[in-house]
Structure 1
């Protein structure tokens, strides 16, 4: 693509400023922004409420490139995994998850990941690069195109977005923030702040920035309630240990009634004892918390097993006895490696 500037990287405010600098009215920027939030828009020629001369001018300077759908897999439970080919031929994955009355999209923020978590297949890829804002929002557009093509979006909307795919979102902070501004803007994608969740392993400085810069749901990948065990599972705990992370969660600015979600993988014989449950409950004291227990998705490349059902229910019961909201995530897309911790662009092979 000869034009290097992708107009999909711009927030609405930036587009308004861009057009004002060219001696045009700001509303032209809002018109373009609205078009860019619609699936199926690939050229400026489709923006029919813009003057033809302006469309031609924009096409000379900017592009609207979208990653293509390289491959698509459908699970027996209706989950869909899309592999998207980027401009440099790297691949990322996103997952469309069917819920009772809506769809949730799990999006990636990086190609690969540098965090090195012992239980995650994406970590096996290593880190390739960050995604740009348009490569993040493109996952939403491509997912909507698939749902429209299959006639599924008529039944229920794509309503929720979770930044829980490939990569550590807050390690790509500036691009994630810009993508959030684009996705949450009511003049474009118009996602509810209550329906967009950013997950992190606990990068404390970026967490604090996020709380100041924008309002969205926050999820913490926790997975252990003591320092040594968490460090073994998640090397980031050496840099940002629990003794610093949990106070940062207590300080995190939340709208009234909101909770931070703590994600906790159930690993057999590792972090699933009654002692672990009591320790977790005490660790999170004073944090507005929802605890999401995640049955581990086993894979030959990973050394862990999933806790048995009885153990998971016992663990949940202990947390409930302390008054926490504690749920057990129903794993979806296992048969196509689309479940939690399984994204690793195996389709590229």
Structure 2
């Protein structure tokens, strides 16, 4: 018996191809998109302006495609981490982060990750599967706070550029007039810097880009992030200098500051030299402890000095506020605990 295919997460062109295959009128695809992304329904039968024939055909071969979260943890600072089940009994995490007048949702793009970054808990799960566009957008659709969301960041579990097709489809659903109609300027996709996928992303998507950098030195970054072997950060930055960031689209660099490792004046100097000529921002991030790593965070005095050093060299630099420290803040911790609880 064939497994039914979810409708949620399909782009308009995919829906048009689907309805054409069923011999349904061309306008049916846009009707379905309207029900999927603009109406608060959860079943095909609730698509009342579709003909009975259309609904019967869809029910025979498809599900609506929504999945509810199975657990949530709330921090004293208001941050919430939601646990969503995926196929084959795995889990992904989604964080809702309130800050002043913003509510930012951090979504996952993969189950686990194959990139092997030393500081990342998700990497310790290894790669398990790709998320579909529907599973990515589902993390937003099924949040209780979905009506208040101001920003979306692809900074949860997984490497978005290792699942680029589905990530691009999900952004299309979020930003198209037939979808959620969000501005792409409210969306940021984070990557460790897979250059061929980054080039395609820059050409096909208008969302902001964030690159995980963490050190300007080749050998040091290679130890932290094996991707440095295939796609050195020097080449990533040089490629980005080919694009115009003078408008509203922006590129930023994520820099986790580790005590005694990447927090020295030499790092400030080398980082400023690397980024010179590129309009960008550097976000300094306090390290959230991860079991089984030899790394630890820097002290606050050094962190402030690092920020001031970069700003003094003309590199716009801020320190990201730490959120959710009392609810397994490091990405991958909550889902790892859920897997261990199941004995997986």
- Which position in structure 1 is the counterpart of 2:10? 10
Residue 97 (structure 1) shift: 0.8
TM-score, structure 2 as length reference: 0.93
Contact 1:17–1:26 (8 Å) recurs in 2: no
- Which position in structure 2 is the counterpart of 1:202? 193
Distance 1:95 1:39 in 2: 24
Distance 2:39 2:262 in 1: 43
Identify if the C-alpha distance between structure 1 residues 43 and 291 changes in structure 2 by more than 3 Å, giving closer, same or farther: same
Residue 252 (structure 1) shift: 3.7
- Which position in structure 2 is the counterpart of 1:232? 223
Contact 2:121–2:331 (8 Å) recurs in 1: no
1:123-142 alignment runs, 5 A limit: 123-142=123-142
Residue 89 (structure 1) shift: 1.4
Identify if the C-alpha distance between structure 1 residues 230 and 302 changes in structure 2 by more than 3 Å, giving closer, same or farther: same
Distance 1:185 1:226 in 2: 40
- Which position in structure 2 is the counterpart of 1:337? 328
**1:266 aligned onto 2:257:** yes
Distance 2:2 2:42 in 1: 15
- Which position in structure 1 is the counterpart of 2:145? 147
Distance 2:43 2:157 in 1: 29
Residue 16 (structure 1) shift: 3.0
- Which position in structure 2 is the counterpart of 1:28? 28
Identify if the C-alpha distance between structure 1 residues 340 and 293 changes in structure 2 by more than 3 Å, giving closer, same or farther: farther
Identify if the C-alpha distance between structure 1 residues 68 and 313 changes in structure 2 by more than 3 Å, giving closer, same or farther: same
- Which position in structure 2 is the counterpart of 1:80? 80
- Which position in structure 2 is the counterpart of 1:158? 149
Distance 1:35 1:236 in 2: 41
TM-score, structure 1 as length reference: 0.91
Residue 48 (structure 1) shift: 2.3
Residue 301 (structure 1) shift: 2.6
Identify if the C-alpha distance between structure 1 residues 39 and 28 changes in structure 2 by more than 3 Å, giving closer, same or farther: closer
Contact 2:24–2:54 (8 Å) recurs in 1: no
Contact 2:85–2:91 (8 Å) recurs in 1: yes
Identify if the C-alpha distance between structure 1 residues 172 and 19 changes in structure 2 by more than 3 Å, giving closer, same or farther: same
Residue 241 (structure 1) shift: 1.0
- Which position in structure 2 is the counterpart of 1:180? 171
What's the secondary structure of 1:198's corresponding residue? strand
Residue 254 (structure 1) shift: 4.3
**1:279 aligned onto 2:266:** no
Distance 2:246 2:23 in 1: 40
Distance 1:186 1:253 in 2: 26
Residue 4 (structure 1) shift: 2.5
The match for 2:285 among 274, 286, 294 is: 294
- Which position in structure 1 is the counterpart of 2:111? 111
- Which position in structure 2 is the counterpart of 1:316? 307
- Please list every run of 5 or more consecutive structure 1 residues that lacks an aligned counterpart in the other structure: none
Cα deviation 1:240-281 (Å, max 9, x = unaligned)? 112311111212454724321100001000101122112111
Residue 219 (structure 1) shift: 0.5
Cα deviation 1:275-318 (Å, max 9, x = unaligned)? 21121111111112110000111234322111111111111111
- Which position in structure 1 is the counterpart of 2:241? 250
Aligned residues: 340
Distance 1:132 1:64 in 2: 14
- Which position in structure 2 is the counterpart of 1:192? 183
Identify if the C-alpha distance between structure 1 residues 341 and 319 changes in structure 2 by more than 3 Å, giving closer, same or farther: farther
What's the secondary structure of 2:214's corresponding residue? coil
What's the secondary structure of 1:345's corresponding residue? helix
The match for 1:220 among 199, 207, 211 is: 211
- Please list every run of 5 or more consecutive structure 2 residues that lacks an aligned counterpart in the other structure: none
